[in-house]
């Protein structure tokens, strides 16, 4: 992955584990998935994951690869995690201080019109929720904190 500075400029290529251990900034791309009715795709992470096992999340994504744009990474992650190839729309980036390590987060949106085929190694459960249902779920379920911060910024961002 690429290590970046506080202005999101590339400093060099580093190992992801080292970047996290040392608290070096890097890039992550995420996508909020909606259906035609505007519902949000929510998922629960498997219990065997090292980071946030069993937590729910409203974002799909992961690290941006070397030479990859935020948009390319977001589209790749949707294919890997959900088995879909759909256009992603870049919305914004922000410097996320992160629970585990700081990183630049690129937030995207995608409309999914067909079926999803989640990777069971990444998604233990998934469902489409209205924003009202999602607000209720956030009160009852454990969610990944960074994803909740990003989703709040997504909701406040003009679309």
Q: In sequence order, what are the residues at sequence separation of 6 or more whose Cβ sits closer than 8 angstroms to the Cβ of residue 145?
A: 99
Q: Share the mean pLDDT of the chain.
A: 95
Mean pLDDT, residues 53-80:
97
Per cent of the chain over pLDDT 90 is 94
- Span 99-141, pLDDT tens digits: 999 999 999 999 999 999 999 999 999 999 999 999 999 999 9
The confidence band for 158, taking pLDDT boundaries of 50, 70 and 90, is confident
Supply the pLDDT for residue 21.
92
Map out the domains of the chain with their CATH numbers.
2-146 (3.90.79.10)
Q: Which pTM value belongs to this model?
A: 0.94
The confidence band for 159, taking pLDDT boundaries of 50, 70 and 90, is confident
Mean pLDDT, residues 20-40:
96
Supply the pLDDT for residue 114.
92
**CA 35 remoteness from chain centre:** 17
Mean pLDDT, residues 7-21:
94
pLDDT at 95 over 80: yes
- Span 31-65, pLDDT tens digits: 999 999 999 999 999 999 988 999 999 999 999 99
Mean pLDDT, residues 13-42:
95
């Amino acid at each position: 992955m690429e290590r970046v500075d506080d202005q999101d400029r590339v400093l060099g290529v580093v190992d992801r584990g080292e970047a996290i251990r040392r608290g070096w900034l890097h890039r992550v791309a995420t996508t909020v998935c909606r259906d035609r009715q505007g519902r949000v795709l929510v998922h629960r992470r498997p219990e065997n994951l090292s980071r946030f096992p069993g937590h729910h999340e409203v974002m799909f994504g992961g690290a941006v690869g070397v030479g990859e744009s935020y948009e390319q990474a977001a589209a790749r992650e949707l294919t890997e995690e959900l088995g879909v190839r759909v256009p992603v729309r870049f919305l914004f980036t922000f410097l996320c201080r992160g629970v585990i390590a700081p990183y630049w987060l690129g937030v995207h949106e995608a409309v999914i019109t067909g079926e999803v085929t989640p990777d069971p190694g990444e998604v233990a459960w998934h469902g489409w929720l209205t924003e009202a249902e999602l607000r209720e779920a956030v009160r009852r379920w454990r969610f990944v904190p960074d994803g909740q911060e990003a989703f709040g910024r997504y909701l406040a961002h003009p679309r």
